[in-house]
């Protein structure tokens, strides 16, 4: 499918080295965006960019630590100087630490918020201050369906995603007058390295699809895990002109796992 309003724009994607971020970077490149791929995993990041450029797309790697305000501000400045004005920002970087509240360490809690919440804040602030001068732009934050439904053993992750979701809606409200649209895509269980790390054995996918009454977790009514490309498709839509009148929206892509909550 072809989306309008993406071709030729500079699109900054965090967490681009793997999983949903990688799928988003590839999808934007295929639509003709100039992709500024950002991640802390340098080797994987450069592999992605080489692959995209070999396919005839335009992409550049910017290794950066989004938990550092200085790193973020410097990266955004270098991207705009080298590639041009950023027209699309996708906050896709994320980490997950699981465990009971009692078992979570201070470091795990802090790291989760550093990436999932503070990173979204630093990157959005740095990008939007430039978008505001141009009176155009689109910001999409990859949240989680866990931001609106309690999950056992995922308190840090769910809380951090809830915070970044509400932050993105507030960002949208503040910058609506400058024609900057800010939305959220909230995936459910998606076949990524993060998801696979939670599985106990080769039946992990089926266990997720079936759900767990003991953990008060519904299964997936559509009877399948999402693929990263499913999430990327939702991001493309919200970044495109087809969604020009949509802002402050949280698009849940979870196969019905949260019953539309």
* pLDDT digits 0-9 by tens, 27-58: 999 999 999 999 999 999 999 999 999 999 99
Residue 203 within any structural domain of the chain: no
CA angle 5/29/242 to nearest 5° reads: 25
- Give the separation between CA 22 and CA 19, rounded to whole angstroms: 5
Helices 42-54/19-30 angle, 10° precision: 20
The pLDDT, as a whole number, for residue 205 is 65
Q: Are 219 and 210 a contacting pair, CB within 8 Å?
A: yes
Residue 1 within any structural domain of the chain: no
The pLDDT, as a whole number, for residue 189 is 84
Q: Which of 122, 157, 175, 216 is catalytic?
A: 157
Helix residue spans in 114-227 (DSSP H): 119-134, 155-174, 193-196, 204-210
Residue 169 within any structural domain of the chain: yes
pLDDT in tens, 176-227: 999 999 999 999 988 877 777 665 666 666 767 766 787 778 889 998 988 9
What CATH number does the domain containing 139 carry?
3.40.50.720
Per-residue confidence band for 96, with pLDDT thresholds at 50, 70 and 90: very high
pLDDT in tens, 228-261: 999 999 999 999 999 999 999 999 999 999 998 7
Residue 248 within any structural domain of the chain: yes
- Give the separation between CA 122 and CA 73, rounded to whole angstroms: 8
- Give the separation between CA 22 and CA 33, rounded to whole angstroms: 14
Q: Are 172 and 238 a contacting pair, CB within 8 Å?
A: no
Percent of the chain whose predicted confidence (pLDDT) is above 90: 84
- Give the separation between CA 97 and CA 156, rounded to whole angstroms: 7
The structural domain count of the chain equals: 1
Q: Is 157 a catalytic residue?
A: yes
- Give the separation between CA 30 and CA 53, rounded to whole angstroms: 11
Helix residue spans in the chain (DSSP H): 19-30, 42-54, 69-83, 106-113, 119-134, 155-174, 193-196, 204-210, 228-239
Residue 219 within any structural domain of the chain: no
The pLDDT, as a whole number, for residue 193 is 74
Full domain range(s) for residue 39: 10-191+228-253
- Mean residue pLDDT of the chain comes to 94
Tokens matching residue 246: 């949509």
Could you tell me if residue 161 is left (phi over 0), alpha (psi between -120 and 50 degrees) or otherwise beta?
alpha
Residue 210 within any structural domain of the chain: no
pLDDT at 171 over 70: yes
In sign, the C-alpha dihedral spanning 24, 169, 63, 82 is: positive
Residue 149 within any structural domain of the chain: yes
The pLDDT, as a whole number, for residue 125 is 98
Tokens matching residue 53: 């450029």
Percent of the chain whose predicted confidence (pLDDT) is above 70: 95
Alpha carbon 6 to its chain centroid, in Å, reads 17
Residue 175 within any structural domain of the chain: yes
């Amino acid at each position: 499918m072809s989306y309008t309003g993406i071709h030729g724009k500079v699109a900054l994607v965090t967490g681009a080295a793997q999983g949903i971020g990688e799928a988003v970077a590839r999808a934007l490149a295929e639509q003709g965006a100039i992709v500024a791929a950002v991640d802390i995993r340098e080797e994987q990041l450069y592999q992605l960019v080489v692959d995209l450029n070999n396919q005839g797309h335009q992409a550049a790697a910017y290794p950066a630590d989004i938990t550092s305000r200085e790193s973020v501000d410097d990266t955004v400045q270098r991207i705009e100087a080298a590639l041009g004005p950023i027209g699309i920002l996708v906050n896709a970087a994320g980490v997950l630490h699981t465990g009971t509240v009692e078992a979570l360490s201070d470091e795990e809690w802090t790291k989760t918020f550093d990436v999932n919440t503070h990173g979204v804040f630093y990157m959005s602030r740095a990008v939007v201050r430039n978008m505001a001068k141009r009176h155009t732009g689109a910001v999409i934050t990859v949240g989680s369906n866990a931001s609106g439904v309690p999950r056992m053993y995922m308190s840090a992750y769910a809380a951090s995603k809830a915070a970044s979701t509400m932050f993105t809606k507030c960002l949208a409200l503040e910058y609506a007058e400058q024609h900057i649209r800010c939305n959220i895509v909230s995936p459910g269980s998606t076949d990524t390295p993060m998801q696979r790390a939670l599985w106990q054995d080769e039946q992990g996918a089926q266990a997720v699809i079936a759900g767990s009454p003991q953990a008060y977790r519904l299964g997936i009514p559509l009877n399948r895990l999402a693929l990263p490309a499913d999430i990327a498709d939702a991001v493309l839509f919200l970044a495109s002109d087809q969604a020009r009148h949509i802002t402050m929206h949280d698009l849940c892509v979870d196969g019905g796992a949260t019953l539309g909550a």
